[in-house]
Amino acid sequence: MIKISYITEEGLQKLKDELENLLGVERPAISKLIAEARDKGDLTENAEYEAAKEAQGMLELKISKLKDAIATSRVIDGSKLDTERIQILNKIKIRNTKNNSTMEYTIVSDSEADLKQGKIAVSTPIARGLIGKKVGDHVEIKVPSGVIPFEIIEISR
C-alpha cells in the first residue's frame, strides 16, 4: 500500500532540489572516484574502490528514497485549511498545564520537520495527540518521558 505524504509547495521544492543535487553533482563525483580507484590496479585489495562502491550504494539508496517521497507527496494549500480543529499545516499554541509553559508549533510532514523552526512532524506523539482537537480542549499525551497534560490555546494557519 502506498503511503501518501502531505507536504507544502516549499517542502516539495526542497525535496526536488536535493534530488537534483544528488543526480547532477553527487552521482558524477562518486563515479569519478570509482574510476580513479579502478585505475589504481588490483580491485581485490583496493580499499578506495570498496569505499567508493559503498558510497555509491548509499547514494543510490538515498536517490531512490527521494524519488519515492516525491512520487507519493501531495501538495496542500495552507490557505484553504480550516482552523476549527487541528490538522497538518496548522500553527498551534499549547500550554503544558503541569508547568504552565506555552509552546508554538506548526504540524508538518515528516520530511519538513525541524524543531529549531518550531515545525513538528505529524507522526510525532504530540502531533498525533493533538490532531482533531479544538481550542480549549485538554489532552494528555503520552511521550517517551511520560504523560504530559496540554491545553490547546490557539489554532491558526
Q: What is the pLDDT of residues 19-36, one digit of tens each?
A: 999 999 999 999 998 888
Give phi and psi for 92, each to the nearest 5: -125, 150
Q: Which residues contact 58 (CB under 8 A, 6 or more apart)?
A: none
d(CA 45, CA 125): 48
Q: Are 78 and 109 in contact (CB under 8 A)?
A: no
What is the number of H-type helices and E-type strands within the chain?
4, 7
Q: Going residue by residue through the chain, which has 157 residues, state the pLDDT in tens, using 9 for 90 and above.
A: 677 788 888 888 999 999 999 999 999 999 998 888 888 776 667 788 888 889 999 999 999 999 998 998 888 876 777 788 898 889 999 999 989 999 999 998 888 888 999 999 988 999 999 999 999 999 999 988 899 999 999 998 8
- Angle of helix 47-71 versus helix 9-21 axis, rounded to 10: 150
Domains, in order of start, for the chain: 5-75 (1.10.287.180), 80-156 (3.10.50.30)
